[in-house]
């Protein structure tokens, strides 16, 4: 495994758009160490740049104090839900004489339009390992697992080397860094299913079972992998823990300044027809405008029609919503979710119905099939959208789509996959009903015009891919 030089150039190059001159330890805890050429940071360099200082501090602390620091820092889950990491960690401590359990890193990253965890794992794998040691200590875990999306071959390679380096240096295994705490990490590559990102489906998959979500309660904090207390956190969430430990909760919370009540920075990104798609580490609560400006605005010939703030399972927003602070609570007030914080922009020249059809086909294909509204409803939804996209929608189809969105909404299915699919559907119809109406009317009234419009949007879609 270690035949590959630790700092060999990656096939996949960094899409971080901030140069080394802009990134500072005081302001960019996730990315300040990264190289401009995107090459991987090995253990020696990571340690020279204060690597594992946060873990060493945490290992000398009582787990309850580590949890308290995470709560005060207000690190909210970067996997999309925004749940407080400190509160989640405190839930493994409820009850007497609980057995030691597991710390699981959710590295499935299959949310459409999301590519932030990939960069962290490929280029700075030791930051994640350090975050997992801190989480493992706080949760009294005996073992850590990284559940990695199967297609992330480069990340697998980078993590495997880093785990080996950490073991050889005594940072993993028995008596981590002489602290008396035993902790090891195993890398588990998945087979590429979106539902494996849902934390309880992930646990089933880890146990070798079919990846169906589990009923909650019990929550993983009480009974997770192999029935033991288990914490599941996103890659970016865990990567924030070292800085909280090293610099303190107040320092971390203050990174977002007046922009947000949430603490720290966030990896924001943009994909679609912009001039400079990529990633930026910015204070959480940075506005959409600021992020779009960094992405160089829309490409020539394109104007912004709508955007998804954080992946395919978030709701469409309008150009005026770019002025919002992109944090969990603010975006939630406008019928969407911050999700992963990676914006997908849609040009006026793209077919919104076509884009939505594509998304819903993805959600239909990735349904685990456990509950009927999701298993059958999503395929039906995609079929209706396909008809509308081709100008063959029937009167009543829009109302039917709205009914579908309601039937798969929160609380009506076994897990959040179907409500995630409902969000872009419901919001697209709410904001752009005319686009859907055009697909119904055209066949009956304007057959020729439909073909002409189709050629223009097909060209725009081609540009994106």
Q: Does 375 bind ligand SF4 (CB under 6 A)?
A: yes
Q: Does 198 bind ligand FMN (CB under 6 A)?
A: yes
CB 232, min distance to ligand SF4, A: 16
Residue 385: C-alpha distances to residues 359, 435, 462 (Å): 10, 11, 19
Residues in the interface with ligand SF4 (CB under 6 A) total: 14
Q: Which stretch binds ligand SF4 (CB under 6 A): 70-78, 303-311, 329-337, 407-415?
A: 407-415
Question: For 140-194, where are the alpha helices, taking DSSP H only?
Answer: 153-168
Neighbours of 263 (CB within 10 A): 25
CB 157, min distance to ligand FMN, A: 20
Nearer to ligand SF4, 138 or 368 (CB): 368
Closest CA to 43 of 191, 212, 162: 162
Q: Alpha-carbon distance 440 to 398, whole Å?
A: 9
Q: Does 195 bind ligand SF4 (CB under 6 A)?
A: yes
Q: Alpha-carbon distance 30 to 120, whole Å?
A: 8
Residue 204: C-alpha distances to residues 81, 96, 100, 199 (Å): 20, 25, 19, 9
Neighbours of 297 (CB within 10 A): 15
Nearer to ligand SF4, 55 or 195 (CB): 195
Q: Does 439 bind ligand SF4 (CB under 6 A)?
A: no
Which of the residues 7 through 26 are near ligand FMN (CB under 6 A)? none
Residue 82: C-alpha distances to residues 54, 87, 182, 237, 337 (Å): 23, 11, 30, 10, 9
Residues in the interface with ligand FMN (CB under 6 A) total: 24
Beta strand 278-283 with 184-189 is unpaired
Q: Does 371 bind ligand SF4 (CB under 6 A)?
A: yes
Q: Which stretch binds ligand FMN (CB under 6 A): 204-212, 393-401, 411-419, 440-448?
A: 411-419
Number of H helices, E strands in the chain: 18, 8
Q: Alpha-carbon distance 425 to 382, whole Å?
A: 10
Nearer to ligand FMN, 123 or 200 (CB): 200
Neighbours of 291 (CB within 10 A): 22
CB 215, min distance to ligand SF4, A: 10
Among 374, 384, 398, 438, binds ligand SF4 (CB under 6 A): 374
Q: Does 418 bind ligand SF4 (CB under 6 A)?
A: yes
Q: Which residue's C-beta sits nearest to ligand SF4?
A: 374
Q: Alpha-carbon distance 233 to 284, whole Å?
A: 18
Nearer to ligand FMN, 83 or 251 (CB): 83
Q: Find out whether 388 and 425 touch, Cβ atoms under 8 Å.
A: no
Q: How far is CA 193 from the centre of its chain?
A: 15
Among 5, 257, 369, 447, binds ligand SF4 (CB under 6 A): 369
Tokens at 261, concatenated: 């009540």
Which of the residues 237 through 296 are near ligand FMN (CB under 6 A)? 237
Q: Does 414 bind ligand SF4 (CB under 6 A)?
A: yes
DSSP 8-state code for residue 193: -
Nearer to ligand SF4, 126 or 193 (CB): 193
Q: Does 318 bind ligand FMN (CB under 6 A)?
A: no
Q: Does 368 bind ligand SF4 (CB under 6 A)?
A: yes
CB 202, min distance to ligand SF4, A: 13
Q: Does 153 bind ligand FMN (CB under 6 A)?
A: no
Q: Find out whether 232 and 224 touch, Cβ atoms under 8 Å.
A: yes
Residues in contact with ligand SF4 by CB under 6 A are: 195, 213, 367-371, 374-375, 413-415, 417-418
Query: Where does this chain bind ligand FMN (CB under 6 A)?
Result: 77-81, 83, 106, 108-111, 194-195, 197-199, 232-234, 237, 415-417, 420
């Amino acid at each position: 495994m270690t035949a590959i030089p630790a700092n060999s150039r990656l096939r996949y190059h960094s899409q971080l758009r901030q140069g080394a001159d802009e990134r500072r330890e005081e302001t960019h805890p996730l990315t300040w160490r990264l190289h401009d050429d995107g090459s991987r940071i090995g253990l020696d360099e990571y340690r020279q740049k204060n690597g594992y200082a946060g873990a060493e501090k945490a290992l000398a602390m009582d787990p309850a104090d580590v949890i308290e620091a995470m709560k005060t820092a207000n690190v909210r889950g970067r996997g999309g839900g925004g749940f407080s990491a400190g509160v989640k960690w405190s839930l493994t401590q409820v009850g007497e004489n609980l057995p030691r359990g597991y710390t699981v890193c959710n590295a499935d990253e299959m949310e459409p339009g999301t590519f932030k965890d990939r960069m962290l794992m490929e280029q700075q794998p030791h930051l994640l390992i350090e975050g997992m040691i801190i989480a493992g200590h706080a949760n009294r875990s005996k073992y850590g697992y990284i559940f990695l999306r199967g297609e992330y071959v480069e990340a697998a390679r980078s993590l495997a080397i880093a785990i080996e380096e950490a073991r050889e240096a005594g940072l993993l295994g028995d008596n981590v860094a002489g602290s008396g705490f035993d902790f090891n990490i195993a890398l588990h590559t998945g087979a590429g299913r979106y539902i494996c990102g849902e934390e309880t489906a992930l646990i089933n998959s880890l146990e070798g079972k079919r990846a169906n979500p589990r009923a909650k309660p019990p929550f993983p904090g009480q009974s997770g992998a192999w029935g033991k207390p288990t914490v599941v956190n996103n890659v970016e969430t865990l990567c924030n823990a070292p800085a909280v430990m090293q610099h303190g909760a107040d320092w971390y919370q203050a990174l977002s300044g007046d922009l947000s009540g949430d603490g720290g920075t966030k990896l924001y990104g943009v994909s679609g027809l912009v001039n400079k798609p990529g990633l930026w580490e910015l204070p959480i609560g940075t506005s959409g405008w600021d992020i779009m400006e960094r992405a160089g605005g829309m490409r020539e010939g394109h104007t912004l029609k709508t955007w998804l703030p954080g992946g395919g399972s978030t709701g469409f927003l309008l150009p005026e919503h770019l002025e919002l602070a992109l944090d969990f609570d603010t975006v939630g007030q406008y019928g969407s979710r911050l999700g992963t914080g990676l914006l997908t922009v849609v040009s006026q020249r793209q077919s919104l119905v076509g884009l939505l059809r594509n998304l819903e086909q993805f959600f239909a294909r990735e349904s685990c099939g456990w509950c009927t509204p999701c298993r059958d409803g999503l395929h039906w939804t995609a079929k209706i959208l396909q008809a509308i996209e081709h100008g063959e929608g029937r009167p009543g189809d829009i109302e039917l789509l709205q009914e579908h969105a309601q039937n798969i909404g929160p609380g009506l299915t076994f897990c959040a996959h179907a409500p995630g699919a409902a969000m872009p559907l419901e919001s697209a119809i709410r904001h752009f009903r005319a686009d859907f109406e055009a697909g119904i009317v055209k066949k009956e009234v304007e057959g020729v015009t439909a073909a002409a419009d189709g050629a223009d949007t097909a060209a725009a879609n081609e540009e994106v891919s």
